[in-house]
Structure 1
Amino acid sequence: MKRIICIAILLISSFGFTQTLSTYEKPPVFSECKTEVVDHIKSCFNYTLNSFIYKNFKVPQIAIDEAYKGDVRVLFEVNKEGEFKVIYADAIYEELKEESKRVFKLLPKIKPATYNGNATFVQYSISIEIPLTEPVKTSDKTTEVQLTERDSLNATLSNEFDAIADELKPYEKLEYNSQLNVPFTHSYYARFDDEMNAIGTNSHTAAKPFLYSDVARYYDIKAEKESLAKETDSWLGRKLYNEHLVEVQAEDYWFTVDPILDLQVGRDSETDSGSTWNNTRGLFIQAGLGKRFNLTASVYESQGRFADYFNQYAESLKAFGPDPAIIPGRGIAKRFKENSYDYPVAEAYLSYTPADFLNIQFGHGKNFIGDGYRSLLQSDVASPYPFLKLNATFWKIKYTSTWMWLKDVRDDVVEGGAFLTKYMANHYLSWNVSKRLNIGLFESVMWADTNGRGFDVNYLNPIIFFRAIEFQTGQDAGNAILGLSSKYKWNNKVNLYGQFIVDEFSLSDVTGGDKSWKNKFGFQLGAKYFNAFKVDNLLLQAEYNQVRPYTYSHNSIILNYANFNQPMAHLWGSNFREMVLIGRYNYKRWFADAKFIIGERGFDFNTAEDSLNYGGNIFADEDNRVSDTGIRIGQGNKVNSFMTEIQAGFLLNPATNLKLFTNIIYRDFNPEAITASTTNSNTLWFSIGVRTDIFNWYNDF
């Protein structure tokens, strides 16, 4: 569109050149034209300029070889200082445009146009005919400059607009050293996991997502992206394979704009209604203002239909109201056609770094705490939410405080047709005890707007202990959780990590040995093997997770550890044990991931004969528990499950993380009893597509 508009402007005159300027007394004057009378100065300006172009313009070889006949249209300005500046050049060959710009840079400084005796700017357009023709000096008025007057205010504004354009410079990939987050996906973070976990580094890898500036201390993302660049000379090739769609940079700001795509089609062996598919289109914006202020925004519009087990889980999360489902990790979905979903999503945040040791973020998105695939403290499996986060890094410590505004969207807690708002605050302290050992301390509290207290200022203190505040605000005023994480660097190839979470703990019940329901805790043990078996970029990972029944639930059921009917920690809630095996490999632009999950879970029966809470549903009422003692993992409707997910593909554009991929999921889900919520399933789900990979999709329900 910009090109068409500019061409239209340039075609105003049939030959010679046209001019737009403020009301003037005298046009700009070449030194050769000083002796001319005012009425002839315009003709002299025309002839002198065309003569200069004829003597200095070198027709590019490509135009000579092609025997090209045509013209070059140039929009230029003579500013208040009498300097020539090209605003726009248009020609069939890029070489012709560049040559015209070169010639105009050679023009001497002349006497500027005047208005009321004061210098002012003037804009002209000119047509340079190819092959060149020598100009002929004539007094014929048809060759004179055609004038269109503009008021001086418009002239001033035009100067300001052009000055902004003059400030622009080639984009220097400033995002890779900014205070923006590196979009968090497990597969991409695996690319620099070993560098950040080398023995002796003072990095803190549990609180995610990372800032680009933090990663840049250990891994050069910019160099990695540049090393993957494809050789291409065309604009389309650069944008498709190497660059952002829009890249703008000036002295004090920069921004990029990219489309977001997730287009895939597949087949599920248990689906009778046809193929599975997803159609996501969106926009992703990143920007920096000055050196300490950054922002990003992503807006998605999506429709899709997934494998049967995925659809059933999405509909089991249904919120109050007419909408049939919540797409896990995304948000509420409307019905699309007969058996598909429409689910818009928006995420954004502002990042401000007032000092080198402090970063503040406010936005709508997700956070993650842990070194593993799962997190028992805080994960990114739920839908996005508003948050305020402070990261302070000093000495051998990183301290993260996060405040979140969450929603309970179940039918039985809706008030006046509106979803119930609840609040959550986290503290996480990461301490590098030695070159090899890291220890993290975690505390979290969930509370609701009971007694009209809203966002309780008691929890705004970034360093106070939540457990003490919860005790002083009332027994049911909040749900506090404590956690411990650790990581040990065995060597530069092997890391060991773990988490321990305590929701409620009774020492007398633990020592009593009767497996009390009050012993609500879980733990994680894991290991990562970097460049495994001396194969570069091969990561192997093994992880075990276990959470006892009733963990993350509460006797005030609105204080469950969840958002939009999805857990804020492990995807499976509680009452489970799980083994996860992962392999990740990348070679240049090629990548492959494999994941195997073996689990044992305990569900409720949810029948008229047995409506007890067996501890796997974190939304259920604890007072309806099956027993006070003898509580064990897997109790209730026991399910043994196995899942494998294999993905391979090609990275189309490293700058945007646009991928071509093929994904295969095999899932075997075998409950002891078939109920409305637990059905036997044996699924093979195959899909192919193209995706902008900037967040984690979890299919392992």
Structure 2
Amino acid sequence: MKRFVLFVFLFLYNLGYAQTISTYEKPPVFKDCDTMAVEQLKSCFNFTLNSFIYENFKVPQIVKDQSYNGDVQILFEVTNTGKFKIIYADAIYDELKTESKRVFDLLPEIAPATYNGNPTFTQYSLSIAIPLTQPVKEDSPSHLVLNDTQKDSLNATLSDELDKLESELKPYEDLEYASQLNIPFTHSYYARFDAEMNAIGTNSHTGAKPFIYSDVARYYDIKAEHKSLEKDTDTWLGRKTFNEHLVEIQGKDYWFTVDPILDLQLGKDTSSDIGSTWNNTRGIFLQAGIGKRFNFTTSVYESQGRFADYFNAYAESLRAFGPDPAIIPGRGIAKGFKENAYDYPVAEAYLSYTPADFLNVQFGHGKNFIGDGYRSLLQSDVASPYPFLKLNTTFWKIKYTSTWMWLKDVRPEVVVDKAFLTKYMANHYLSWNVNKRLNIGLFESVIWEDSNGRGFDVNYLNPIIFFRAIEFQTGQGAGNAILGLSSKYKWNNKVNLYGQFILDEFSLSDVTGGNKSWKNKFGFQVGAKYFNAFKVDNLLLQAEYNQVRPYTYSHNTQTLNYAHFNQPMAHLWGANFREFVLIGRYNYKRWFGDAKMIIGQRGLDYNTDDDSFSYGGDIYRNYNDRQADTGIIIGQGNKTNSFMAELQAGYVLNPTTNLKIFTNILYRDYNPDAVNATTVRNGTLWFNLGIRTDLFNWYNDF
């Protein structure tokens, strides 16, 4: 196989330079050949080289003992300074390859080849016959007679193109930090520059995430932060482990980095009988830039894992059509793996192009988030990745984001020919900095499917239009439109207030009637962030309240609900809930700590044979299955109170790749009024420790 690869390489190389060979002026010249005519130089070079090898090559004893007959294949180069350099050697015995390198190291420097009068490198292939055969000159000094394995084996390839590419390489200058790539979105990492992005008077727009490096660079120097955290190490392994990307390449108009992805965890769910919990993720993460305006990245994950019982039960409740037992929340479909474990591969990638300073276009497979809080009622990143096209337009005090998404309904009842049903989602988000303190955001979204064979409806391609009007024009049952409002007020440079309001359906007469109609489908969020709390640098405290009324995000055409891969596209809990979230985050140099507490109340369905009503929490239920038209309240149905607290602490091994070691402990108390097959009381204490390349948010608070 190696010889085949070598043959193909040489064949393509020589084919590509056929024209060059005919035009170069002079091959390399040994000292003993420099008085000969030009037309004799090639023969003299061949004979001198082969003679040197014959005189100096010592066949290893192990080769002699085996009475071996064969050859050593050599690909070598004479550099533009006249030095011999082996590029590739192939032989059955490693001792032959070692001896070949020793002999080539003995060769003297010679006059290099010239092309158009300038020194250049040449590459040759050579076959050394074993046993050795002495080269023989013919009568004509311009001709060299070689043995059968040597004849025509020296093929010169002349070009300085690869040399030029090599000479253009330079030390990597951390170009990612000024690029149009997204900063991988995790709440804990974004907390590092949240205060600077939200200072009074900044014209930043923090509602649409993930952020682009070049946007954040205006307010916070991530590169300088990482440099300040560098460890003093002189070894390659030390630099790659603690400070740098594994691979860093930069040329004249391009750059790229390559890193391994790890998420290795070991833990214990004290309420479970299945032994330890664990996760084993390996992958690769590539970032690249071509020119100044085009970037792309890809991350590929191969994962197996077994989680706490409540997490496994939720994953299996999301199960898609087909033989696979679960969907890992936020990741994707999982196959069964060994005993009580899952195998769940994931791939994400996108292209980012900035044709003008005011416009960035992204096309890829991933997630998006809208909001300033821990949760989002407009669009969150709790669902599995999906294909998307996104336009970010920034001018004056406005940022306008248009996103088109291709989603999947994976329930068995909508599968056709074993293929998941495709539906489409489009949204607009306009962020306006009204003044130095106040930001207002307007949001609209619509979901539709391929009804009447319309596919991706071009009516929704217009990035500047009101979706509700289009929905009306294309048929009132043809789509599901949602409206939203966000706001943020900078109380001072330490305190930010933020909020969201989501409106799925609204009836003024029912609101003023005071009868708590099911039609009043809306929700809201209010929150506050306290930066450098209590004069402690890098301490962030956050409090947030969310509530969503029953039947919000659902539809009478179930495929038009606000969901993807059996997971909500907004809040993790769907609808019919209220929730209070308290978060603290702290970092000191490479050390970090996070604390989170969530208190919530939800209204679930009873899921029993004698009660088939929808109580408004499951957004995959048809809202026409509701149990009443009026008297609709949050928490109706199987009222479930929940409490969750989580502590995490760790150390960032490599700030450049966000590789960290960590340990965390989670306590969860889940207490429904009625227990059934799908809703059980659960008290969980889950310990974990591990090492992770932190590139996305894990949500385990369902």
- The TM-score range, normalised by the shorter chain, is 0.7 to 0.9
Q: Share of identical aligned residues, percent?
A: 76
Residue 378 of structure 2 corresponds to 377
Cα displacement (A) at 1:415: 1.7
Provide the residue aligned with 1:349 in structure 2. 350
Structure 2 equivalent of residue 682 of structure 1: 683
Partner in structure 2 of residue 172 of structure 1: 173
Cα 1:690–1:473 shift into 2, 3 Å = same
Deviation per residue, 1:4-44 (Å, 9 max, x gap): x99xxxxxxxxxxxxxx96998554699996688789979x
- Answering whether residue 527 of structure 2 is matched by residue 554 of structure 1, we say no
Deviation at 1:124, TM superposition (A): 9.0
Residue identity in the other structure for 1:274: G
Contact persistence 2:415–2:421 (CA under 8 A): yes
Q: Which consecutive unaligned segments of at least 5 residues does structure 2 have? A: 7-19, 50-74, 89-108, 126-145
Return closer, same or farther for 1:666/1:114 CA change in 2, 3 Å cut-off: closer
For the Cα contact (< 8 Å) 1:369–1:377, is it kept in 2? yes
1:303 equivalenced with 2:290 (yes/no) = no
Query: Matched residue pairs, number?
Result: 622
2:508 and 2:576 mapped to 1: Cα distance? 20
1:221-620 equivalences in 2 (<5 Å): 221-620=222-621
Alignment partners' CA distance in 2, 1:366 and 1:455: 20
Amino acid paired to 2:258: V
1:30-65 deviations in Å (ceiling 9; x for gaps)? 99996688789979x99xxxxxxxxxxxxxxxxxxx
Q: Secondary structure in 1 aligned to 2:546?
A: strand
CA apart distance, 1:159: 3.4
Query: What are the Cα deviations for residues 586-642 of structure 1, in whole angstroms up to 9, with x where unaligned?
Result: 001100000000001000101111111110000011111011000000000001100
**2:625 counterpart letter in structure 1:** N
SS at match of 1:642: strand
**8 Å Cα contact 2:79-2:85 kept in structure 1:** no
Give the conservation status (yes or no) of the 8 Å contact 1:30–1:111: no
- 1:122 is matched with 122
Report the Cα offset of residue 656 of structure 1: 0.8
Q: Is the 8 A contact 1:76 1:84 kept in 2?
A: no
SS at structure 2 position matched to 1:191: coil
Mean alpha-carbon deviation: is it higher for 23-32 or for 615-624?
Answer: 23-32
Quick check: 1:27–1:41 contact (8 Å CA) kept in 2?
no
CA-to-aligned-CA distance 1:182-236 (integer Å, 9 cap, x gap): 0000000000000000000000001000000000000111111111111111111
Q: Distance in 2 between matches of 1:673 and 1:680?
A: 9
- Asked if structure 2 preserves the Cα contact closer than 8 Å seen for 1:449 and 1:455, the reply is yes
Question: Is the alpha carbon distance of 1:405 and 1:33 closer, same or farther for their aligned partners in structure 2, counting shifts above 3 Å?
Answer: same
Name the amino acid aligned to 2:623.
Answer: E
Alpha-carbon distance, 1:536 to partner: 0.6
In 2, Cα distance between the equivalents of 1:42 and 1:479?
A: 79
2:79–2:112 Cα contact (<8 Å) kept: no
For residues 510 and 172 of structure 1, the distance between their equivalents in structure 2, rounded to whole angstroms, comes to 59
Determine the C-alpha separation between the residues in 2 that align with 1:383 and 1:281.
Answer: 18
| CA shift for structure 1 position 76 | 6.1
| TM-score (normalised: structure 1) | 0.83
CA distance in 1, matches of 2:25, 2:296: 48
Contact 1:470 1:478 in 2 (8 A): yes
CA pair 490-41 structure 1, distance change in 2 beyond 3 A: same
Match of 2:157 among 155, 158, 171: 155
Secondary structure of 2:381's aligned partner: coil
Code of the residue aligned with 1:472 in structure 2: it is Q
Residues of 2 paired with 1:540 and 1:230: CA distance? 29
Aligned to 2:206: 205
Deviations 1:131-178 (A, max 9, x none): xxxxxxxxxxxxxxx9997777x614x633333222211111100100
The letter of the residue matching 1:433 is V
The verdict on how the C-alpha distance between 1:35 and 1:337 changes in structure 2, with shifts beyond 3 A counting, is: closer
* 1:25–1:213 Cα change, 3 Å: closer
AA of the residue aligned to 1:238: R
SS in 1 for 2:214: helix
Q: Whole-Å Cα distance in 1 between the matches of residues 301 and 113 of structure 2? A: 52
CA distance in 2, matches of 1:354, 1:643: 46
Q: Call closer, same or farther: CA 1:397–1:271 in 2, change over 3 Å.
A: same
C-alpha distance in structure 2 between counterparts of 1:288 and 1:673, whole Å:
55
Over 3 Å counting, the alpha-carbon distance change for 1:167 and 1:523 in structure 2 is same
Whole-angstrom distance in 1 between the partners of 2:672 and 2:255: 54
Contact 1:268 1:307 in 2 (8 A): yes
Distance 2:625 2:120 in 1: 84
Q: Distance in 1 between matches of 2:205 and 2:86?
A: 50
Cα distance in 1 for partners of 2:151, 2:121 equals 13
Q: Distance in 2 between matches of 1:473 and 1:649?
A: 53
